[in-house]
Amino acid sequence: MRFRAHPAASISISCRRFLHRVRLVIAAALCLVSLHAPPASAQELRIAIATEPSSLDPLFRLVGPDEQIARHFFDSLVLQDERQRPMPGLALSWRTVDDTTWEFRLRPGVRFSDGSLFTAKDVAASLHRAVSLQNSIGGYGIYTRQVTKAEIVDDYTIRLHTAAPYPTMPLDLSPVWIVSHKVAEEPTEAFNAGKAVIGTGPFRLVQWVRGERLVLERNDDYWGRKPIWKRVVMRFIPNDSARIAALLAGDVDLIELVPPSAIEQIKANPALRLVTGISARAMYLNLDSSRERTPFAVDAQGNPLPANPLRDKRVRLAISKAIDRQAIVERIMQGVAEPAGQLVPGDYFGASTKLRPEPYDPEGARALLAAAGYPNGFGITFQVPNDRYVSAEKVGIAIGQMLSRVGIETRVDAMPESIYKSRASKFEFSLFMLGWYSEAPEASNSLRGIVATRDAARGWGSANRGRYSNPVFDALLQKAVATADDRARAALLAEAMEMAMEDAAVIPLYFEGSAWAFRKDLAYTPRLDQFTLAQEVTRAE
């Protein structure tokens, strides 16, 4: 079957050759060059991060790059350590008063960066902002819309009321950053300009130069453990090779998202240290399973198909069987990843003990396609981001080849994350790759965000960009999240996860690995959430 690719979306061969030459130069430098630049200043830390935040408004957009930056300036009621274990933040303790009321005792004596005291009034104002912010593209409503009333008992006690039992509230409030009530009604532009970035976090904002850098200074009045760095400069360097080059040249002290292809060379460099870890971010395929016709599915002549093949469960399962997850992990990710059979790690609360990664079965994929009425396959365009996730474009190309082998002739269309997310949010794609990490170590987070039917009123399905909808699944998930008994809730969540995976609502691929490289006099502990936090960078012992 011949599949007509649109010439404007083709990847330039000369560009690829140029990038290949750049990678060879970097690889040679890693093997042969010793760093002689002076060690990082005792007062300043320089970090190269891969993705610039879209905003400094901590409640504008619920995505990793924005959350990572927000955590430098703001705190939440319940914080998480590097393993996503909950720990007291702006709340010292929490308890249920009754089935629909949680009480949080707040930390006294905490001050915002403008010197004002933190109180329950700020919590109430932040929760209101999370659901009322104009033009937000965030999705914080998934955690806050259940709150029907914020009752201020006193300055350091607040009770949050819900219409139904909400047993996961403390975990769900982990990513909801607390802003001063003085700026809670300010537009997002005021945060981006810096004047509204008033938080209780370990750093204050000095400067944001879009497309270039973010400058922070230590908040010496911070209530928690203070960072060892007085000043932090974060440079935005999306290109992998450029980040490595900046580290080699001594222009930065630490880089994130080290590409798998550079890991062994960095390990061999005596002037550098490298740490790796498997994250909780599930990389997965989203599928347009709702529309009668989907824009990027075509026949052998390149004409749009009259019916959307992705609506057929057999086609979705065929796509899953066509993917060799182990090969992707071993050959592209260099072992720094883990095949996934569900949307959360196996030790998460509510994870299924029955689900395993789909075995590679190209013959089974062909049989399913034939049974679905596509014995000769069809053509499709597969969109992937090329500057957001580790080696995502390489993974996308590999998946495209795997799908083509079973008859789904696939053209891969890679694009920057800024364009990609905007188009995905407008439901422009048919088959596309995304990543999701649970804000808390609990299965309902992913199921509510990715699989549940889109429901703006309660914030469900905020990241369901394939618009999958299954009323039976929704009812089961609703029952699970309202069940107070932990054992019963875990069993219901596992059942809901199994139902979603059996129906190929989305197709899990692997849990992304993370790697950080830095000067040998520094230390950093890998985090499940993949955040690069300046306050956690220390001196090597």
For residue 414, give the amino acid letter.
A
Q: Is residue 16 part of a domain?
A: no
CATH of the domain at 246: 3.40.190.10
* 132 lies in the same domain as 265: no
Boundaries of domain holding 493: 279-513
Point out the domain boundary residue: 158, 186, 214: 186
Taking only the tens place, the pLDDT of each residue in 448-491 is 999 999 998 888 998 999 999 999 999 999 999 999 999 999 99
Q: Helices 240-248 & 13-32, crossing angle to 10 degrees? A: 30
Give 516-538 pLDDT, tens digit per residue: 999 999 999 999 999 999 999 99
Rounded mean pLDDT, 420-449: 93
Q: Are strands 213-218 and 86-88 parallel, antiparallel or unpaired?
A: unpaired
Q: What residue type is assigned to position 345 of the chain?
A: P
Same domain, 313 and 430: yes
Residue 59 lies in a domain: no
Judge if 231 and 318 occupy the same domain. no
Range from 42-46, 123-127, 310-314, 327-331 carrying the lowest mean pLDDT: 42-46
Residues 469 and 340 in one domain: yes
Q: Which residue among 186, 221, 251 closes a domain?
A: 186
β-bridge pairing 378-385 and 431-437: parallel
Percentages (nearest 5) of helix, strand, coil residues in the chain? 30, 25, 45
Look at residue 344 and tell me whether its pLDDT is greater than 60. yes
Nearest to 505 by CA among 472, 480, 456, 470: 470
The CA-atom distances, in angstroms, between 112 and each of 94, 177, 179, 189 are 22, 13, 9, 20
DSSP letter for each residue of 72-120: HH---SEEE-TT--EEESSEEEEEEEETTEEEEEEPTT-B-TTSPBP-H
Report which secondary-structure segment, H or E, holds 435: strand 431-437
Question: In the structure encoding, which two tokens stand for residue 185, read together?
Answer: 């009604």
| Residue 440, pLDDT score | 85
Are 352 and 496 part of one and the same domain?
yes
Evaluate if residue 34 carries a pLDDT over 80.
no
367 lies in some domain: yes
Phi then psi for 243, rounded to 5 degrees? Answer: -65, -45
Please state, in angstroms and rounded to a whole number, the distance separating the CA atoms of residues 146 and 153: 19
The residue assigned the tokens 């930065």 is 252
| Confidence (pLDDT) at 41 | 57
Place 4 in a pLDDT band, splitting at 50, 70 and 90. Answer: very low
Dump pLDDT digits (tens) for 152-183. 999 999 999 999 999 999 999 999 999 999 99
Are 333 and 427 members of one domain?
A: yes
pLDDT at 38 (0 to 100): 45
Whether 14 is covered by a domain: the verdict is no
Last residue within a domain, chosen from 134, 151, 186? 186
**What is the mean predicted confidence (pLDDT) over 106-120?**
98
CA separation for the pair 50, 63 (Å, rounded): 14
Residues 363 and 448 in one domain: yes
Structural domain includes residue 224: yes
Enter the DSSP assignment of 247. H
User: Of all residues in the chain, what percent carry a pLDDT higher than 70?
Assistant: 92
Could you tell me the pLDDT band of residue 33, with boundaries at 50, 70 and 90? very low
Please report the pLDDT score of residue 1 as a whole number.
41
- What is the reported pLDDT for 14? 38
Domain assignment present for 192: no
Whether residues 350 and 412 share a domain: the answer is: yes
- Cα–Cα nearest to 296, from 405, 138, 412: 412
Q: What CATH number should be reported for the domain holding residue 112?
A: 3.90.76.10
Question: What Å distances lie between residue 151 and 103, 131, 156, 516, CA to CA?
Answer: 9, 17, 11, 43
> What mean pLDDT is reported for the chain?
91
| 254 has pLDDT over 60 | yes
Q: Average of pLDDT values for 80-109?
A: 96
Tell me whether residue 11 is in a domain: no
Minimum mean pLDDT range among 24-28, 107-111, 314-318: 24-28
Cα four-point dihedral sign 22, 23, 28, 30: positive
Domain check: are 482 and 531 in the same one? no
Nearest C-alpha neighbor of 448 from the set 460, 436, 459? 460
Q: Which residues are registered as beta bridge partners of 254? A: 47, 518
Dump strand ranges (E) for 166-249. 203-209, 213-218, 231-236
Same domain, residue pair 156 and 245: no
Query: Is residue 23 packed enough to be buried (19+ CB in 10 Å), middle (13-18) or exposed (0-12)?
Result: middle
Dist. CA 516–CA 495, nearest whole Å: 36
Eight-state DSSP code of residue 299: -
pLDDT digits 0-9 by tens, 182-232: 999 999 999 999 999 999 999 999 999 999 999 999 999 999 999 999 999
* 1, 164, 233, 474 from 64: Cα distances, Å: 40, 29, 19, 26
Per the structure, the count of domains in the chain is: 3
State the Cα–Cα distance between residues 195 and 177, nearest whole angstrom.
17
Lowest mean pLDDT among 37-51, 258-272, 372-386, 409-423: 37-51
- CATH assignment at residue 335: 3.10.105.10
Tell me if 287 is assigned to some domain.
yes
The pLDDT score that the predictor gives to residue 65 is: 92
CB 218 within 8 A of CB 226: yes
392, 469: one domain: yes
Residues 330 and 414 in one domain: yes
**For 378-389, what is the mean pLDDT?**
94
Q: For position 138, what pLDDT does the model report? A: 64
